Amino acid sequence: MLNSFVSKKILLTVLLILVSFNNLYAQRETYLFHKAVGEAKSGNRDFAFIYFRRFLQSEPDSNLAKEAVFALGEYYYSLKSFPNATLYFKRFITDYPKNDARIFAYAYLLDLAKADGKIELTAVLEKKIVTYYSLSLLFRKYKEYRYKSPMAKNYKALYYIDKVQIYLDEELFAEIPY
């Protein structure tokens, strides 16, 4: 009986230790990400970039990784490091096919394709954006989709009956007629 009691006590102690380590791991995982978001909100994009990269390197399978990938794409785009921006936005689209922010990654890629004069790619990306959502405008002028990025940018897509408008921080970023 004493042996059974000791065994249960040891098992309980081991379980408590494992739970504690799991909580510490979860806190460590989110620390870098939240530090990056805090830096972005404070306007320290360079520090935010550093923390997002470190987070993505240390926690590539985290649920927050998709946000970090998008943020890195934004950062590289803002620096006009377009090959790196393209790499991260393509990765975002490929790795997170169900994420609603994909439309905004497509918008960045569309802007880059237009700037490079890639007419065929521009047409493909425009079609992807236009057909991204099933549109039902019954009794409405437009359908709206929003996304707030971890780099503290606000995105909005407005689907009208004849065009799509994409806004970045309330400024028109792209317009696609159809």
Per-residue pLDDT of the chain (178 residues; tens, 9 = 90+): 556 655 656 655 554 554 444 444 445 668 999 999 999 999 999 999 999 999 999 999 999 999 999 999 999 999 999 999 999 999 999 999 989 899 999 999 999 999 999 999 999 999 999 988 866 666 678 899 999 999 999 999 999 989 999 999 999 999 999 8
Determine contact, residues 155/146, Cβ cutoff 8 Å: yes
pLDDT of residue 46: 96
Whether the model clears a pTM of 0.85, i.e. scores above it, the answer is: no
What span, in angstroms and rounded, lies between the C-alpha atoms of 11 and 80? 56
pLDDT of residue 24: 45
**Alpha-carbon distances of 143 from 22, 99, 133, rounded to whole Å:** 42, 18, 10
pLDDT of residue 139: 66
List of domains in the chain: 2-177 (1.25.40.10)
SS (H, E, C) the chain: CHHHHHHHHHHHHHHHHHHHHHHHHHHHHHHHHHHHHHHHHCCCHHHHHHHHHHHHHHCCCCCCHHHHHHHHHHHHHHCCCHHHHHHHHHHHHHHCCCCCCHHHHHHHHHHHHHHCCCHHHHHHHHHHHHCCCCCCCCCCCCEEEEEECCCCCEEEEEECCCEEEEEECCEEEEEEEC
